[in-house]
């Protein structure tokens, strides 16, 4: 909660936010060039996301060299942003680009989404506090002993149960992605049409369509829409 003093009265505001907390999987095994590419990609993606959603709405920071944390003022955008970051990293490869060529992913994150109130916002995200931060951080700790890469925690067990079942299935889908699949999803998350994706990565529209199907985009799109609807109607309307 934020407390503001005005004309000798205190006004208390509850602010519902989403917090992303993420660790790079097996970062100690990465070669230096791979880790550097991941960090450079993250920094650029953070800038792009801030420009897309507004710098006042999004804060994303790298910490410890292999992790990141972010504050998202509109929680209904959190899952899409998490996937944008994930696909930006999943599409990295160092082999010569060949049309219609798929490579195995070389980098991935575990990402925990916590949604709740923010009680304290500091200049450093790591020093901020509130239920959203606690949900996100504790959930990521739990994931270290689980075969999970994406998980959600709110104060509603009904919402947690629904989406953690769906996100487990999402993990199963994304684990099968090649870098080519991740790249197509990356551009679809930016709301590009198939023709625009084809132009962006210099392949045919039919190849984009094939990769889109292989990546399970239709199911992912349904999940994103469902997430936005539930979070908006059941959580944000409480603000």
pLDDT, tens digit (0-9, with 9 covering 90-100), for 63-94: 888 899 999 999 999 999 999 999 999 999 87
The mean pLDDT of the chain is 87
Give me the pLDDT at residue 63, please.
87
CA dihedral in degrees (161, 163, 168, 169; nearest 10)?
A: 120
For residue 22, list its beta bridge partners. Answer: 68, 111
Is 237's pLDDT higher than 70?
no
- Domain presence at residue 3: no
CB-count burial class (<10 Å; 0-12, 13-18, 19+) for 89: buried
- Domain presence at residue 30: yes
Q: Between 15 and 167, whose confidence is greater? A: 167
What DSSP character marks residue 183? H
Q: Report how many domains make up the chain.
A: 1
The range of the structural domain enclosing residue 176 comes to 14-238
- Domain presence at residue 130: yes
Backbone CA torsion sign across 215, 216, 222, 228: negative
Is 102's pLDDT higher than 80?
no
Neighbour count for residue 42 (Cβ, 10 Å): 21
- Domain presence at residue 9: no
CB 87 within 8 A of CB 45: no
Which CATH number characterizes residue 188's domain? 3.30.70.270
For 73-130, the DSSP string reads SSGGGHHHHHHHHHHHHHT---SPP-TT---B----EEEEEEEEE--B--SSGGG-BS
pTM for this prediction: 0.88
- Domain presence at residue 8: no
Of 107-121, 168-182, 188-202, which gets the smallest average pLDDT?
Answer: 107-121
Q: Beta strand 109-117 with 150-153: parallel, antiparallel or unpaired?
A: parallel
For residue 130, list its beta bridge partners. Answer: none
């Amino acid at each position: 909660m934020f407390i503001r003093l005005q004309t000798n009265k205190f006004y208390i505001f509850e602010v519902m936010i989403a917090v992303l907390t993420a660790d790079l999987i097996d970062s100690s095994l990465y070669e230096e060039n791979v880790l550097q590419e991941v960090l450079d990609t993250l920094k650029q993606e953070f800038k792009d996301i801030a420009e897309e959603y507004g710098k006042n709405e999004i804060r994303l920071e790298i910490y410890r060299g292999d992790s990141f944390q972010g504050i998202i003022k509109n929680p209904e955008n959190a899952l899409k942003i998490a996937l944008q970051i994930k696909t930006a990293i999943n599409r990295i490869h160092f082999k010569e680009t060949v049309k219609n060529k798929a490579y195995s992913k070389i980098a991935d994150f575990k990402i925990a989404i916590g949604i709740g109130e923010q009680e304290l916002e500091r200049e450093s995200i790591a020093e901020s506090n509130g239920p959203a931060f606690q949900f996100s951080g504790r959930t990521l700790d739990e994931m270290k002993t689980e075969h999970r890469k994406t998980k959600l925690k709110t104060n509603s067990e009904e919402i947690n149960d629904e989406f953690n079942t769906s996100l487990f299935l999402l993990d199963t889908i994304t684990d099968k992605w090649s870098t080519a699949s991740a790249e197509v999803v990356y551009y679809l998350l930016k709301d590009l049409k198939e023709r625009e994706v084809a132009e962006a990565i210099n392949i045919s529209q039919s190849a984009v369509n094939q990769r889109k199907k292989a990546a399970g985009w239709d199911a992912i799109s349904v999940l994103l829409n469902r997430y936005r609807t539930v979070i908006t109607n059941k959580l944000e309307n409480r603000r």
